[in-house]
Structure 1
């Protein structure tokens, strides 16, 4: 067993967290109930017959106040996974100085340290390769290496951050069946933290709270965009039956909040699912004879801004108005750029009705897309 300051009860499906309480929980896949001890005291006076007065001390339960952050905010512990807006790193492994095909500036552990809670990556099989890699359209353009390296980094980060829930969205670039690369995922040990849903597909009300996921030890949610088989691999969730996306690789700075994938999804079904907005503006270039959409780096500070035309903040507000609730994921390039730096996290905090007051990002106070062009 292990002790933590996160004191949580799963009785009746609810989460109760008490300030300064200590919990003991087992590392199993079954629900745990934490026994809370101690109470606050109040003092009252009782008048006795005659001229005497006695002081009586009585006990009353403490207020349920949580002080341990889940995904950086104490308020999130009691919220469902489906009721939180998280910042996502588009093409998380594609970190390459001087490459137009790169999408991020910092490696995945830094991304997670800074507050990214969904990391997305595209799996490809190199020509004549026997191990799946993360590649941008083609492994000749940008090869970020074997998927096991990146996944091991995430597993190690999750192991050292026991109150954080991370989502991994895998793009199946070659449309391979999951059995081709599931063994490589399993070999990293990350599945010891994988979330397995109780029903398929999951709607908004089926998702547990972050506290429940933390106590169960299921703190990594895997999605696969195409060819998922949840019968054979229940931990690898079929993305588009449970999560929809706005237009992918957008080149329109107005960022319409419409469903692109899966196609023809009725509005009533869309409203019952998670959704992700792809707020990463692209420009078309030719690399090695291949036409490729890459980040419009000269506009990053505008695209990732908290306010203004074409900003992430404006896009999130539009989606919230159009769909009656905030987006679950804000999928961005170069999250560390914006106006000001960290503005993507400010937008998420605004959607979550909390305050973003952390320093951003990567330990380097760089703002301005010109740094990418040196």
Structure 2
């Protein structure tokens, strides 16, 4: 019965998508100051400028790579003594030397190299592996490689075990089985290994509350564990995290979180989510998106402000089909939900969370991030006080005919076929 409900919803999905418009385009937010400080003249004639963390022989710090670097003036003094028959005087002059400053982007922007991980807002792909068209269980349109190319920096998905092998499945593997986690995370590994200046977070949803050690051999098989970050303390608060630059230099630039059953003393590189991250209500249906803590429950405000924040901005609505009540993505409102401004928009939600908790959220968790042509990334840029200026139009080429508001006729046809097949088989 649930299967019939899912395929029936495919028809509603296609109709809803066919009705929406893609008038939004990626626009740059207004430029603002970043984290790197400007040069300041000192009383001794010295100038100082913060630099990006990387080691060099002279003690200066710079991220090295294929990108070009600029130079700027740095401190330097020289004492000169002149002697005459009656007096001796000392002259002090300032010598100008060069020190490199960073233009290599970390997670898409040079300023982020010098910022702490906890002080950067990033867009998260809610249920990243679930991209199958024509089903209520899908939440994204583009494959994970395209997600990462476009700027997604948190990948999240729920895991269930099938014949002792962990699969990415949405609520139930009967509803949507995206395959073994080694397949999906293997693709993530390939991307990570070819993008040395990016830090990526992976949130593992432990749908069966399985002991954490059971995941280890499968995660090791993906190759990602060599990049896994191990924190120096348990738990980490928002100010404890290192800068992106230092994580990149160390090679430990993949952060694994698990929502339930993590044990950092047993597996130190799989971090317990809810001792370090809090979330707004899951599967929200209220377009006001109240910025309140749902998980972990009963978290005091003072502790909330010291943790990373994940806001679930993936609007759902409840439908009843064939006696089943299920929550599904509110596709007809995606252009508004993913927008920068307007009631129910991601931009308004991020702003209210910033005002309430004294700092921007860490993660903006959205469905179909591509709808809006980059507006979700513009919201993140505003939170980070930088300009959204992508090198290419967002967003990537769809691997399926999932919601893009263009070319949806095939989605509609697929949904109709699925509906007829379901009726025939029922």
Q: Aligned in 2, Cα 1:38/1:319: closer, same or farther, shift over 3 Å?
A: closer
Aligned to 1:321: 355
Q: Deviations over 1:44-77 (max 9, x none)?
A: xx9x99xxxxxxx974243663100000000000
Alignment of 1:347-362 (within 5 A): 347-358=379-390, 359-362=393-396
Q: Aligned in 2, Cα 1:268/1:10: closer, same or farther, shift over 3 Å?
A: farther
Contact 2:154 2:202 in 1 (8 A): yes
Aligned to 2:172: 138
Structural RMSD (CA): 3.1
- Work out which structure has the larger RCO, using CA pairs closer than 8 Å and 6 or more positions apart in sequence: 2
Aligned to 1:8: 53
Distance in 2 between the 1:232 and 1:172 partners?
A: 16
Paired positions, count: 338
Aligned to 1:233: 267
User: Which of the residues 343, 346, 358 maps onto 2:378?
Assistant: 346
Q: Aligned in 2, Cα 1:182/1:41: closer, same or farther, shift over 3 Å?
A: closer
Aligned to 1:29: none
Q: Deviations over 1:230-252 (max 9, x none)?
A: 11100000000000000000011
Distance in 1 between the 2:266 and 2:370 partners?
A: 38
Contact 1:246 1:276 in 2 (8 A): yes
Aligned to 2:35: none
Distance in 1 between the 2:158 and 2:296 partners?
A: 18
Task: Indicate yes or no: 2:156 matched with 1:120.
Answer: yes
Q: Deviations over 1:147-167 (max 9, x none)?
A: 000111111111000000000
- State the structure with more CA Rg: 2
Q: Aligned in 2, Cα 1:114/1:66: closer, same or farther, shift over 3 Å?
A: same
Aligned to 1:34: none
Instruction: Give the stretch that moved more between structures: 283-292 or 348-357.
Output: 283-292
- TM-score normalized by the length of structure 1: 0.83
Alignment of 1:9-24 (within 5 A): 9=54, 17-18=61-62, 22=64
User: Which of the residues 109, 123, 132 maps onto 1:87?
Assistant: 123
User: Which of the residues 190, 193, 208 maps onto 1:159?
Assistant: 193
Query: What are the ranges of 5 or more consecutive residues in structure 2 without an aligned counterpart?
Result: 1-50, 66-70, 84-92, 413-426
Contact 1:100 1:294 in 2 (8 A): yes
Aligned to 1:179: 213
Task: Indicate yes or no: 2:141 matched with 1:108.
Answer: no
SS at match of 1:141: coil
SS at match of 2:184: helix
SS at match of 1:346: helix
Q: Aligned in 2, Cα 1:290/1:122: closer, same or farther, shift over 3 Å?
A: farther
Query: What are the ranges of 5 or more consecutive residues in structure 1 without an aligned counterpart?
Result: 1-5, 24-36, 50-56
Distance in 1 between the 2:192 and 2:326 partners?
A: 33
- TM-score normalized by the length of structure 2: 0.73
